[in-house]
Structure 1
Amino acid sequence: MRKIHLHGHLKKFGEIFKMDVLTAGEAIRAISMQIPEFCEALKEGSYYVIRGDRKTGYGLNVEHINELRLGTGDLHIVPAIAGRKNGGGVLKAILGVALVGAAIFFSAGAAAGLAAPIFGTVGPTWGNLAMLGASIALTGVSAMLTPTDTKTEEKSDESFSISGPSSSMAQGSVIPLVYGEVITGGHVVSAGMDIENIGRYKP
């Protein structure tokens, strides 16, 4: 038994499910059998599918949905926030439509004929071949339709009112946490300026 964690707007269907499943595809199909509305909600947006810990776990691609065993780790399905950077591409968001397609329509054993071997009585089956083609197709569709982060050069304007170096960060960027002594620029949160005629205070 392993735990399936739903995050974001998917929590309305239940935050944690305990299921005896081997892959992420089996988990999605099992939840869909109990809650038919789950698939419709899953089609909206993009998601990170993570095996293990939510922050340090392994991010699954669309071809892993039916192939990669979960082992003893938990599974997290996390909606990808629009406009948020993913920390340098460590996790790849999967389009919801591709996720449902991989889990439901291209699951192993979806059709009895796919179990027939290609050569003789043993060896790869037509189902294996179909799964390979489907995973390649879904990976391409997901890559084309899922928004990708573009790194832009940040313009650093020289400050004449505040001494020392200054830095600017794009919205959604990761802010590093530094331990120990370090020489670095600062982030100006707020600044103001008042103008007064000092000459009028002279006796």
Structure 2
Amino acid sequence: MAKIRLYGDLKQYGDKFNMNVETAAEALNGLYCQIKGLKKQIMNGFFRVRINGVDMNEGNLQFGLHSRIPQNAVIHIVPKTEGAKGGAFSFIAGAVMFVVGAIFYWTPMGYPLMATGVGLMIGGVAMMLTKLPKTEKLADGGTNKNTSFSNLDNTIAQGAPVPLCYGLTKIGSKVLSQGLETIDG
């Protein structure tokens, strides 16, 4: 018996499944046969797969999917977070600031310029290493289904990347989930 858990935009197909299977590949094939559109959704996305507490990567995914799983194993399929591309400008600007700060190190502006330059370079490298998110195009062409700035409730569409903020920030919210419950008392 294996427990399959789907997260993110895959939850539209269900989130918990119990199947009597011997391998994770057999479990996924069983779900593909029973749930229309699930295979296409998984093939078009980027997901993190965790089988019985072990994260699968490109090196061990094939082996992990086809090896025998223990009784009551849990298989998690979670969407990977994605971000923006481009960071070369940030990296170059950071390098220039670092060099200028190093030249004027003995002045009051030298060390802050160097520190800011290092921060920009690290941010630029992080942006260059992050995969671009795929945006859906509408049939009429050109516009996507981005609701970040057009919705009065400031909600975010399902499957979109969630920004992470560190330190003290003053920003608007992105409502991830909301609900209303009335109780007759």
TM-score category, normalised to shorter length: 0.3 to 0.5
When normalised by structure 2's length, the TM-score is 0.45
When normalised by structure 1's length, the TM-score is 0.41
Q: Say which one has the larger Rg.
A: 1
